[in-house]
């Protein structure tokens, strides 16, 4: 069966490595904070001014003044630091972030990402996504494979305003893990019970299917 959003976060957590500095975007990416493997040290950065963000708090741990960039309450790990957003974006723009995990509305098969605006709908601005996609060393997108209308979000070219060009390295959806190459999306893994044919039917962009496609392992 296809993964739920927590399953997507679990799979992305497998991309983490000890000692990484990681920024998690709003939505599904924030769930990765609760999936870091035991014994692994990963420093989570939030662009509103946190370095050393921990998992979501239990009810008894909630501090309304301690929030991430999506205004969700969070915890801090030992040694965490708090600072202003100017300092935070200085870290981002200086290339100090090893991995950024973002949600998206669309991703093209050349690695373009559209994640901030739907024409005709009012938004306050792009937020920190533009800086993150321009500066992070690695960018993984966590999103659903299709939109609410059932249309593919993995395209030959994005139709929505772009956040970044040629920057996405990998996409993890409820159906599959796909890497982005010069020749298009490469299907690396399918979710348990999901067939290659289903992924192919829901991917509008160029899709390369190797001879042997692994099934995801989440445990």
DSSP, residue by residue, 9-61: HHHHHTT--TT-EEEE-SSGGGGGGG-PPTT---EEEETTTEEEE-SPPPGGG
Per-residue confidence (pLDDT) for residue 122, from 0 to 100: 66
Residues marked as catalytic: 47
Spatial contact of 163 and 178, defined as CB atoms under 8 Å apart: no
User: Quick one: average pLDDT of 159-165?
Assistant: 94
Q: Please name which of 210, 181, 182 lies closest in space to residue 196, comparing C-alpha atoms.
A: 210
Cross-strand partners of 21? 43
> How many CB atoms are closer than 10 A to CB 196?
14
The region, left, alpha or beta by phi > 0 then psi within -120 to 50, assigned to residue 116 is alpha
In what helix (H) or strand (E) does residue 177 lie, and over which residues does it extend? Answer: strand 176-181
Whether the predicted pLDDT of 7 surpasses 70: yes
pLDDT tens per residue across span 181-204? 999 999 999 999 999 999 999 999
Whether the predicted pLDDT of 173 surpasses 90: yes
The whole-model pTM stands at 0.93
Q: Please name which of 172, 13, 25, 10 lies closest in space to residue 100, comparing C-alpha atoms.
A: 25
Q: Is 135 exposed, middle or buried (0-12, 13-18, 19+ CB in 10 A)?
A: buried
Per-residue confidence (pLDDT) for residue 124, from 0 to 100: 67
Spatial contact of 47 and 89, defined as CB atoms under 8 Å apart: yes
User: Quick one: average pLDDT of 8-18?
Assistant: 96
User: Quick one: average pLDDT of 39-50?
Assistant: 94
Per-residue confidence (pLDDT) for residue 176, from 0 to 100: 98
Q: Please name which of 150, 160, 148, 145 lies closest in space to residue 207, comparing C-alpha atoms.
A: 145
Whether the predicted pLDDT of 130 surpasses 90: no
Whether the predicted pLDDT of 128 surpasses 90: no
Three-state DSSP class for residue 76: strand
Q: What mean pLDDT, rounded, does the chain reach?
A: 93
Query: Distance between CA atoms of 196 and 201, rounded to whole angstroms?
Result: 9
Please state, for a pLDDT cut of 90, what percent of the chain lies above it. 84
Please state, for a pLDDT cut of 70, what percent of the chain lies above it. 97
């Amino acid at each position: 069966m296809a993964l739920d959003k927590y399953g997507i976060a679990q799979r992305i957590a497998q991309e983490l490595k000890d000692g990484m500095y990681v920024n998690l975007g709003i939505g599904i990416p924030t769930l990765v904070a609760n999936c870091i493997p035991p014994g692994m040290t990963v420093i989570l950065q939030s662009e509103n001014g946190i370095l050393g963000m921990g998992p979501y708090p239990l009810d008894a741990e909630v501090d309304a003044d301690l929030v991430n960039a999506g205004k969700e309450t969070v915890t801090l790990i030992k040694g965490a630091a708090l600072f202003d957003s100017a300092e935070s974006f200085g870290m981002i723009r200086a290339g100090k972030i090893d991995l950024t995990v973002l949600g998206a509305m669309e991703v093209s098969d050349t690695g373009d990402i559209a994640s901030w605006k739907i024409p005709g709908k009012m938004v306050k601005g792009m937020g920190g996504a533009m800086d993150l996609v321009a500066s992070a060393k690695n960018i993984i997108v966590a999103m659903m494979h299709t939109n609410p209308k059932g249309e593919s979000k993995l395209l030959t070219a994005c139709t929505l305003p772009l956040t970044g060009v040629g920057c996405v390295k990998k996409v993890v959806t409820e159906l599959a893990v796909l890497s982005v190459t010069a020749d298009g999306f490469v299907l690396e893994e399918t979710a348990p019970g999901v067939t290659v044919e289903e992924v192919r039917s829901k991917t509008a962009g160029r899709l390369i299917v190797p001879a042997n496609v692994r099934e995801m392992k989440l445990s």
